[in-house]
Amino acid sequence: MQFEEFGLIEPLMRAIGEEGYATPTPIQEQAIPHVLAGGDLLGCAQTGTGKTAAFALPILQRLYNTKTDGPRVIRSLIVSPTRELAAQIGDSFAAYGRHTGLRHVTIFGGVRSGPQRKAIAKGIDILVATPGRLLDLVGQGVVKLDHVEVLVLDEADRMLDMGFIEDVRRIVRLLPRERQTLFFSATMPYEIQHLADSILRNAVEIRIAPEAPAAETVDQTVYFVERGQKHLLLAHLLTDEAVSRGLVFTRTKRSADRLTRTLRESQILVDVIHSDRSQSERERALDRFKKGHVRVLVASDIASRGLDVDDISHVINYDMPEEPETYVHRIGRTGRAGAAGQAFSFCGIEERCYLDQIEKLIRRPLPATSDHPFLSPVPRAAKAAATPAPTGPAMANGWKKPLRRNLLGRRRRR
């Protein structure tokens, strides 16, 4: 399928050509026609699937085709969980809408509101916002939402993780009942499905399965280890200087903070990002990591989707993710642009159900190494197999004896 087949207006087609897009992604191919037709949408898709264009292009077309000569009012509202994501969405609207004459503003916390207030006062068609700053400016009378025709909630599961769901409900109550709602989430836990059911009407559901990262560039290895010894295993692996830039993922903010303190006590240069840290603290930590001032960055899953750092040598899943799609997203941070990358996953006995789900998603078993000093007991049903040892810079210390697990030997968590 080609973009021309959507019937997009010339200003959008010109911008698409200037951006170098050739063919639509799967979510764009499925979502754009439905959104153009005015229907509600529930999209389950990861970052990096092209979902921003899937909603931005139809919104721009709708607003362009129904321009009026009166004062500009906010006709489309896009709510995102973080400043970083909001800025990316704003950049996309600027790129795709450069020839339409439509105006947009992006607002978020952590900075002075004055410039944002002035930009809104000039009149805008599209507002991209984080929940907290949006409600602040609504409360001050700066933002009026009574003319919103299209609402987009992006990365709703992340808003749940960050404690924004009640804010989202408040925002929805401020909007006209007659509107189009586009709801996107990488995962669909019960709370998110319930929220979607409460605000969508006759929505079409689109699910885009994430693609597994390129096996040629990301070498994936599992380390069976007891939970209480994970920090010792991590410190052991970090003695290898080949781990030049390591991104370590935990499931919770508390775990991230505790691990960071432990690594600092071991004289490892490390910083941490999660949603409890201020915007300036997160930006400072990310900048130090990018510039090589710290060797290791610990991140909770809540913060992980906003990361964009080149040349990450290793991704380490200190905690196995509960959602298998999160694993795919995590390890996609290494092995970019054809470079070699390593992904290590620490798996405690209580986490093997998550490993099972990951292997089902990527449709292959992950090799496990037994040659490390903190190996936990392997399930009795597991069978050793003479599989090739992982290769790459971090395997230079002689870890040569991987195991191949019998997947039937693990219980699935219900």
Say how far apart CA 48 and CA 67 lie, in whole Å: 31
Q: Give me the pLDDT at residue 238, please.
A: 93
Reduced to 3 states (helix: H, G, I; strand: E, B; else coil), residue 15 is helix
**Dist CA 145 CA 151 (whole Å):** 10
| Per-residue pLDDT in tens (0 to 9) along the chain, 414 residues | 889 999 999 999 999 999 888 789 899 999 999 999 999 999 988 766 789 999 999 999 999 999 888 899 999 999 999 888 899 999 999 999 999 999 999 999 988 999 999 999 999 999 999 999 999 999 999 999 999 999 999 999 888 877 889 999 999 999 999 999 999 998 888 889 999 999 999 999 998 865 554 445 789 999 999 999 999 999 999 999 899 999 999 988 889 999 999 999 999 999 998 877 876 788 889 889 989 999 999 998 765 665 667 789 999 999 998 888 788 888 888 877 667 789 999 999 999 999 999 998 888 899 999 888 888 766 544 443 333 334 333 333 333 333 333 322 333 333
Dmax (CA) for the chain in angstroms is: 74
Q: Is 363 helix (H, G, I), strand (E, B) or coil?
A: coil
Q: What is the pTM of this model?
A: 0.63
| DSSP string covering 57-77 | HHHHHHHHHT--SS-----EE
Rounded distance between C-alpha atoms, residue 17 and residue 237, angstroms: 46
> Which candidate, 137, 99, 100, places its Cα nearest to that of 117?
137
pLDDT of residue 412: 35
Cβ neighbourhood burial of 219 (10 Å; 0-12, 13-18, 19+)? buried
| Predicted local distance difference test score (pLDDT) of residue 31 | 95
Q: What are phi and psi of 44, to 5 degrees?
A: -105, 100
* CA triple 306-75-104, angle to 5 deg: 50
Q: Which domains does the chain have, with CATH numbers?
A: 3-207 (3.40.50.300), 218-409 (3.40.50.300)
Residues facing 1 on adjacent strands: none
Distance CA 345, CA 341 (A): 13
> Residue 381 to residues 152, 333, 377, 378, 414: CA-CA distances in angstroms?
48, 33, 11, 8, 20
